[in-house]
Amino acid sequence: MYSSDTTRQSQLAQLRQRAAARARRVLLTGAAVVTMDPAIGVLDKGDVLIEGDVIAAVGPDLRAQGTIADAVAIDAAGCIIAPGFVDTHRHAWEAQLRRIMPDVDDLAGYVTSTLLGIAPVYRPADMYIGTKLAALTALDSGITTMLDFSHNSRTAEHSDAAVQALIDTGIRGVHAAMAPHFGDWDKQWPADLARLQGQYGSDLLTFRLAALATDEIAGPSLAYGAELARTARDLGIGVSVDAVFGTSSSQAVLTWERQGLLGPDVTLIHATGLTGEAWRAIGASGTTIALAPTSDAQIGLETAIPAVDEALAVGVRPGLSIDVEVALASDMFTQMRALHAIQRMRAVNAVYGTEREPSRIGVRDVLDFATLQGARTNGLADVTGSITVGKQADLLVIRAEDINNMPLNDAVGTVVLGSDPRNIDTVFVAGEVRKWNGRLLDVDVAALRAEVAASRDHILADAS
């Protein structure tokens, strides 16, 4: 990846000329390959062959097989190839309000300011711009799959705008639709999900039903239960349940267990402060968990401790998520590092002064959470999350010899603890190049900046 600019431009031209050909072949060669496939592991020096939109081969020297002479060959020496990150929960529509409340004190402060005070003034155009900005930022930072927990679906037009933004960016999108917490809306949800799925569903865009755990914040209509579960099952889609906190949510989990409403197609978000009985039910049912490490710790959600130990104790390997950019970082590197540090701190602290050994997670664990487990949490384990033959070619090429990464000693450690978005040279989604030579493609940043600022100014003026 340290070829001349002329070579890089020529390679990009070849890739884009062939973009419409399903049989096009791209060979990434000579990199450290972190597959996150348990059967393959890490290749210190390997190749990845993309054919159309899928991963066709992974191995130490694919050119020696002599069957790929027609591929566009890209020398990735000095780089790490990894699966794209998977974000299991982000409220994308809020992106033009990034860091507007960096020191928000608690959940009530966020709910009152953003969901009660600001969300009701959003137009469909604002939904589009916020979601587009979030998705492009995700791609730029190596997130190739993003679940947009779109909880401001005031009208069908608001939902259409959010969905269209995902389509226009080329990200692998999961649109999880939910009605707004407060203010006027058309009452089209959840029935409108059938239309959205039929009109927009594709290989790159899937749908889930979004709900809350209890009626404490926004009333019973948004709380997960038998009726919403029936809607999701009729549509053949999963359910993502937000605001899963504490005693009341623990009681809800046990109710869902009795009603048969838990399972691998249900994701519980946060899951902080749950009782042991609730965790037992989660583990026994195979229900998935989406952690939001910086959200729990920084905003102080319930115990303020990401529930990774509790999840692992019942056999659940969680996915990771960004949550709200109004107060938090936008990238997966931050989530991995925060969780890695917090869990290891807790593990050592728990045995301090004793002779017991701390039970610590490692960098491979958090990278697994950010990739393969995130895909499983989003219902896409067979599609993405690892460099596995037959899966979609959602890949990152990370420069391992940049000044903050050199020299490359441990590929997984470099991805988790050394890298950041500036080191991501190339991003593929379904075999299509979305970032190349460190820059997003097909994005007019100046025009986007103007659109984002105008949307923010309109929202804040109307909400004041």
Distance CA 317, CA 313 (A): 9
Q: Which fold has domain 85-377?
A: TIM Barrel (3.20.20)
Matching residue, tokens 């973009």: 19
Report the C-alpha gap between 344 and 337 in whole angstroms: 11
Instruction: Render pLDDT for 294-332 as a digit per residue (tens, 0 to 9).
Output: 999 999 999 999 999 999 999 999 999 999 999 999 999
With beta carbons less than 8 A apart as the criterion, state whether 145 and 384 touch.
yes
Cα atoms in the Cβ-side hemisphere of radius 13 Å centred on 150:
40
CA nearest neighbour of 207 among 133, 147, 135: 147
Indicate if the pLDDT at residue 20 is higher than 70. no
pLDDT beyond 90 at 245: yes
What gap in Å lies between CA 139 and CA 96, rounded to an integer? 17
Q: Do domains 5-83+385-440 and 85-377 have the same CATH topology?
A: no
User: In this structure, are residues 363 and 412 in contact, taking their beta carbons and an 8 Å threshold?
Assistant: yes
Pick from 435, 399, 392: nearest CA to 83 = 392
pTM to 2 decimals? 0.97
Element (H, E) at 245: strand 238-245
Report which DSSP code applies to 418. Answer: I
Does residue 69 carry a pLDDT above 90?
no
Q: State the pLDDT at residue 379.
A: 98
Mean pLDDT of 234-262: 97
19: pLDDT strictly greater than 60: no
Domain ranges of the chain: 5-83+385-440, 85-377
Topology adopted by domain 5-83+385-440 = Urease, subunit C; domain 1 (2.30.40)
Percent of the chain's residues with pLDDT above 90: 90
Q: Write the pLDDT tens digit of every residue in 117-141.
A: 999 999 999 999 999 999 999 999 9
Q: How many residues does the chain have?
A: 464
Cβ neighbour number for residue 254 with a 10 Å cutoff = 16
pLDDT over 70, % of the chain: 98
What's the whole-number mean pLDDT along residues 65-81?
Answer: 87
78-130, pLDDT tens digit by residue? 999 999 999 999 999 999 999 999 999 888 889 999 999 999 999 999 999 99
pLDDT, residue 143, reads 98
Does the pLDDT at position 3 exceed 90? no
pLDDT of residue 67: 63
* Alpha-carbon span 329 to 345, nearest angstrom: 21
pLDDT recorded at residue 286: 98
In whole angstroms, what is the distance from residue 125 CA to residue 450 CA?
A: 14
Q: Which residues contact 391 (CB under 8 A, 6 or more apart)?
A: 54, 55, 382, 383, 384, 385
- φ/ψ of 186, rounded to 5, equals -85, 0
Tokens of 233: 């099952």
pLDDT of residue 28: 96
Answer for the pair 138, 91: CB distance below 8 angstroms, yes or no: no
Q: What share of the chain is helix, strand, coil (3-state, %, to 5)?
A: 40, 25, 35
Quick one: pLDDT band at residue 2, thresholds 50, 70, 90?
low
Q: How confident is the model at residue 11 (pLDDT cuts 50, 70, 90)?
A: confident
> Which residue would you say has higher pLDDT here, 217 or 141?
141
pLDDT beyond 90 at 416: yes
What is the residue-wise DSSP string for 100-138? SSTT--SHHHHIIIIIIIIGGG--HHHHHHHHHHHHHHH
Q: Which residue has the tokens 């991805």?
A: 415
Of the candidate ranges 63-67, 182-186, 255-259, 457-461, the one whose mean pLDDT is the lowest: 63-67
Query: What is the residue whose two structure tokens read 């990774």?
Result: 308
pLDDT in the model for residue 149: 98
Please name which of 264, 265, 225, 218 lies closest in space to residue 243, comparing C-alpha atoms. Answer: 218
- Average pLDDT of the chain, as a whole number: 95
Dist CA 30 CA 140 (whole Å): 23
Least confident span in 147-151, 176-180, 214-218, 246-250: 214-218
Predicted confidence (pLDDT) per residue in 259-305, tens digit? 999 999 999 999 999 999 999 999 999 999 999 999 999 999 999 99
Q: With contact defined as beta carbons under 8 Å apart, do 114 and 324 qualify?
A: yes
pLDDT at position 21: 59
Residue pair 209/202 in contact (Cβ under 8 Å)? The answer is no
In the numeric block, which tokens belong to residue 353?
């002064």
